[in-house]
Amino acid sequence: MQRITTKDTQESARRTWDEAKGVECIVPFDFTDASRRALRWAVSIARGARVPMRIALVHAIEPTALGESDDFRALLEARGRERMLAECDGLAPRGARGGVAIVRECEVGDLVDLVRSRAGRAPRALVVVGDRGLGAVRRAILGSATERLLRELECPMLVVRSEPERDAPPAVRAVLVATDFSRDAEAALEAAHLLCDAATPVDGAVRVEFVHVVSPAPLLEVSERASLTATPAQAPVPAPELPPAEVAIAEAGIARALEDAAQAFRAAARAAGAEVEVATRIEHGDLVRALAHEADRTAASVIVLGRHAVGMLERMLTGSTAERLVHATRRSVLTARAPAPR
């Protein structure tokens, strides 16, 4: 039976949570269909998780220029919490495995700042956001909360797109894992295990395809990185075009690294009790277009990739790969970033 924490039980839940060191699934919530989709995904993931997990709904009341009183602010926050409680009560627990704890945070402030602060306080965090999408002109001028979260969050983030059946619980039947053998890609793989735990495939196993996209960057550099997966990825270094024989050798190295990564993922999933089928593939061309096309070809529910940091100039001109992919595909996208070296 689903459990909703109230003010009387929040302190007890916090102590239990701190002791468990589990994953907090944070859902930015604004009562739109997009945020409700994100909540359904979060509940599905939490029910299937093999680690302690709870959901935190975060609702931000945008500050106005009216200079409202403290009483008015408190009233808005109280009404926001009441609405969130009603939303939680309306969830239909289909096939729930145990209870799902949901805590609510409703404050006046900036949504991205509230989510980032909440994620920073959690032992481990996963942010699940429903993407509404913006027109190209408005996005260029204002950006979106999704884009800001992609840029600013340090924890894994799942961007949920529309579902074929609005009221159906989300089902992860196929996952496309993009890897460049970097530390960020490894962090994304760890987050992908949560999806496999929550999957409800028709045939009893989640299909996971590992793909590496060979771009115009030198193949030799990528192949060398693949053989040293524990080493942080280096920026592509311009090099002369490789002869066909060396291209074949480099791609063979990438293929071996892909197979090793896929088999390690399957072994870890099975050890945790999840059943997965793995495959590998090498694609060529533009990274974003290749991933979007391969996700459509395999009917992937989610695309998984590392979220690399980019400079301000590159973000202004092209945006990060994760941002571009979110706009280029109809699939949900899970990204993660490796912790900064200490």
| 8 A C-beta contact, residue 158 and residue 334 | yes
pLDDT for residue 176 is more than 90: yes
Asked whether residue 43 is domain-assigned, the answer is yes
- Between 232 and 169, the higher pLDDT residue: 169
Question: Given 138, 160, 182, which residue is the final one in a domain?
Answer: 160
Asked whether residue 224 is domain-assigned, the answer is yes
Asked whether residue 182 is domain-assigned, the answer is yes
DSSP label of 331:
S
- Between 168 and 23, the higher pLDDT residue: 23
CATH of the domain at 328: 3.40.50.620
Nearest CA-CA partner of 175 in 276, 44, 285, 261: 276
Q: Residue 191, CB half-sphere, CA atoms under 13 Å: how many? A: 33
Give the pLDDT band (50/70/90) at residue 320.
confident
* CA distance readout (Å), 92 to 80, 87, 143, 164, 261: 21, 10, 34, 18, 37
pLDDT at 333: 94
DSSP label of 66:
T
Asked whether residue 166 is domain-assigned, the answer is no
309 with 236, same domain: the answer is: yes
Three-state secondary structure along 6-18? CHHHHHHHHHHHH
148 with 37, same domain: the answer is: yes
| 8 A C-beta contact, residue 115 and residue 127 | yes
Asked whether residue 165 is domain-assigned, the answer is no
What's the pTM value of the predicted model, to 2 decimals?
0.78
pLDDT for residue 235 is more than 60: no
Give the pLDDT band (50/70/90) at residue 303.
very high
Asked whether residue 196 is domain-assigned, the answer is yes
- Between 267 and 19, the higher pLDDT residue: 267
Nearest CA-CA partner of 208 in 278, 306, 107: 278
CA distance 316 to 322: 14
pLDDT for residue 213 is more than 80: yes
Q: Residue 336, CB half-sphere, CA atoms under 13 Å: how many? A: 24
Question: Given 160, 183, 204, which residue is the final one in a domain?
Answer: 160
| 8 A C-beta contact, residue 118 and residue 58 | yes
86 with 193, same domain: the answer is: no
Encoded tokens for 283: 């694609």
- Between 39 and 139, the higher pLDDT residue: 39
136 with 58, same domain: the answer is: yes
Segment 82-98 mean pLDDT:
56
Number of domains in the chain: 2
pLDDT for residue 94 is more than 60: no
Asked whether residue 155 is domain-assigned, the answer is yes
Q: Which of 80-84, 104-108, 220-224, 262-266 is least confident?
A: 220-224
255 with 139, same domain: the answer is: no
Q: What is the tens place of the pLDDT at every residue in 113-144?
A: 999 999 999 989 999 998 765 444 434 433 57
Q: What domain range includes position 277?
A: 174-336
pLDDT for residue 261 is more than 70: yes
pLDDT at 236: 44
